[in-house]
Structure 1
Amino acid sequence: MEVVAMRIGVIGLGDMGSGLAKNVIAAGFECTGFDLAQGRMEAFAALGGIPAASAAEAATGADAVFVMVMTGAQAHDVIVDQVAPAMAPGSVVLLTATILPDEAAAIGRALDGTGIALVDTPVSGGFPGAQNGTLVMMAAGSDAALDRARPAMEAVSATIHRVGTEPGMGQTVKACLQSLNGAIFAGVFESAALAAAAGVKGQVVHDVFVNSSAGCPAVRAALENIIDRRFEGTGSHIATMYKDLTIVMDMARSLGVPQFTASTAMQLFQAGKTRYPNGDNWSVTRITEEITGKELHR
């Protein structure tokens, strides 16, 4: 298949952004990137990327730029003040970070009249999906912008859902998804702790759960990490999921929608984040394990 000649920028080269860059480069695109952490820049260069001295430099001459930062404030600063002014009219900013829908909408309004299109496209799939190029994208933007950015998006994603036309709609769908993911994780953590207290072996729990009607990739990943006691370095940092759940609750509050299960999940993640600030999502299980004095091992 012929590679479309495009220059792609990636801002934010952490667990997720490094995967975006890896797959953009593997697809044959020229890729410039920027991150505040020097170690990440060195790893990016080792992949074959072109390190930039700033976000603006990474965006200069780019046809499309992925922005994978942590917060809405960071996204606004990077896109509105640094990236968009360096890009030519007709180019596209791909907002892959997860932020509040209102924050994405505000960024879209700030780009009105600039000739720079914004595609609001948060992703799902975590670290494995980012590294393997199998992310699910929830993309909102004009048909023209989505069509222009399609080659870059296909380089990092196995499934691209067009969920709307206006910035903020992608983030809205992502928040709904994270409400569900939070509930799934909370259920796994509590059922794993229950099994540990009852003396059930982790392998038994794993085999039954993943082959039952409740089995899904999220359940499988959570259980495998719990029973193998991998609580750090799996690419699913607890702070990220906690942030996403706060977005869920903010959106639910603004719409007047009760979120009984998601609110419980958020509090579980708050406890886990406080107790294990460097941990990954699965660390939440340890909170209940500490109460019971029983751990689930394979």
Structure 2
Amino acid sequence: MKTVGVVGLGDMGSGLAKNLLKHGFQVQGADLLPQRQDAFRAMGGQLGDCPADVGRGADAVFVMVMTGEQAKTVIFAPDGLLATLPQCSAIVLSATIKPQEARDIGAQMQGSGVHLIDSPVSGGFPGAQGGSLTLMAAAPPDILDRFLPILEAVSANIHRVGERPGDGQTVKACLQSLIGAQFSATFEAAALAAKAGVSGQVLLDVFSTSSAGCGVVNNALEKIIDRQFEGTGSHINTMHKDLTIAMALGEALGVPLHTAGSAMQIFHAGKAKYPNGDNWVCTRVIEEIVGAELHREVAP
């Protein structure tokens, strides 16, 4: 396997492309934004005008878009991937979408001769750029074995979570319900410490060496105390969408998600007030209510 495509060259997709190039693959890509196109060319990728250009001659193509409707357009439109992808190639659905949307895509691809690997990812911007993503991959074992070198180029952990389209998305929804709750609890704790006059550095030192410390909490707190609320590669729209997916899955299965529901409202408030912010900007909404901000050091 020599040629791999990436549709969607944003914070996540650009990382996929970078690491595929690093591992010696020829990489074809497409994106709607000129600045992303320029960055992709600069790293050595071959830019296409549409998904069909990306699929032409490719062994596999990652689809890293925002929504299920976008994924369907990329795959099934007249200038979509299925118009040009060779027989026995694969589409890696690395975007996070609703499980039912992934199942619909799999059903519609039946008979196309192109395999579908439902494999949403976790690890955010650092994981994508560093090639250390966690993949939740769902496809028949022989298909995963065949395309394993491509998946390994972008990932540090590949979990085989099922064989059917939608299995990967279901596991991702469960994961995001947990991560959303961890984020929201961190935002609230940060505002509580700010109001009490505790320095951000003290809070970080304690949290990071306690049983509550983890990558999600530590990274969020670092961003909060350094007041980095935009441009960190973790736009609030993504987590807001993912929590919406988790809540919809809970609704469909009759599972109460009390904590994820609270997190959803915190992210909804953050997105409404600061639509251009990253996840951590939710803290600012709570800080504005209590009239205190958490900085790395307490102002004298």
Contact 1:92–1:148 (CA under 8 A) maintained in structure 2? no
Residue 79 of structure 1 pairs with residue 79 of structure 2: no
The correspondence for 1:151, drawn from 149, 152, 167, is: 149
List runs of 5+ in structure 2 lacking aligned partners.
none
Contact 1:123–1:137 (8 Å) recurs in 2: yes
How far off its partner does 1:148 sit?
Answer: 2.0
**TM-aligned CA deviation for residue 61 of structure 1:** 0.3
Aligned to 2:23: 27
Match of 2:219 in 1: 221
1:286 aligns with 2:284: yes
Aligned match of 2:121:
123
1: CA distance between counterparts of 2:261 and 2:49?
A: 41
Match for 1:118: what amino acid? L
What is the distance in 2 between the residues matched to 1:197 and 1:148? 55
Q: What is the rounded CA distance, in whole Å, between the counterparts of 2:232 and 2:82 in structure 1?
A: 33
Q: Counterparts of 1:78-117 in structure 2 under 5 Å?
A: 78-81=74-77, 82-117=80-115
Calculate the aligned-residue CA RMSD, in Å: 0.6
Partner SS state of residue 231, structure 2: coil
Deviations 1:106-159 (A, max 9, x none): 000011111100000000000000000000000001112212221111110000
CA distance in 1, matches of 2:55, 2:128: 21
Tell me the secondary structure at the aligned position of residue 147 of structure 2.
helix
Q: Distance in 2 between matches of 1:268 and 1:152?
A: 37
The one-letter code of the counterpart of 1:135 is L
Aligned 8 A contact 1:193 1:294 in 2: yes
Counterpart of 1:75 in 2: which secondary structure?
Answer: helix
State yes or no: 1:210 paired with 2:200. no
| TM-aligned CA deviation for residue 77 of structure 1 | 1.1
TM-score, scaled relative to structure 1: 0.98
1:56 is aligned to 52
1:10 alignment partner, SS class: strand
Instruction: Please give the secondary structure, in 2, of the residue aligned with 1:136.
Output: strand
Residue 85 of structure 1, CA deviation = 2.4
What is the Cα deviation at residue 80 of structure 1?
A: 2.4
Is 1:47 the equivalent of 2:18? no
Q: For residues 172 and 207 of structure 1, what CA distance do their matches in structure 2 show?
A: 35
Tell me the alpha carbon deviations over residues 150-190 of structure 1, each in whole angstroms, 9 at most, x when there is no partner.
11111100000000000000000000000000110010000
Partner of 2:254: 256
Q: Deviations over 1:82-125 (max 9, x none)?
A: 11221111001000000000000000001111110000000000
Is 1:135 paired with 2:123? no
Question: 1:105 & 1:193 partners in 2: Cα distance?
Answer: 41
TM-score by length of 2: 0.97
The answer for the alignment partner of 1:11 in structure 2 is 7
The sequence identity of aligned pairs, in percent, is 60
Separation in structure 1 between the aligned mates of residue 107 and residue 36 of structure 2, nearest angstrom: 31
Q: Tell me the equivalent position of 2:171.
A: 173
| Distance in 1 of aligned mates of 2:237 and 2:112 | 34
- 2:4 and 2:82 mapped to 1: Cα distance? 14
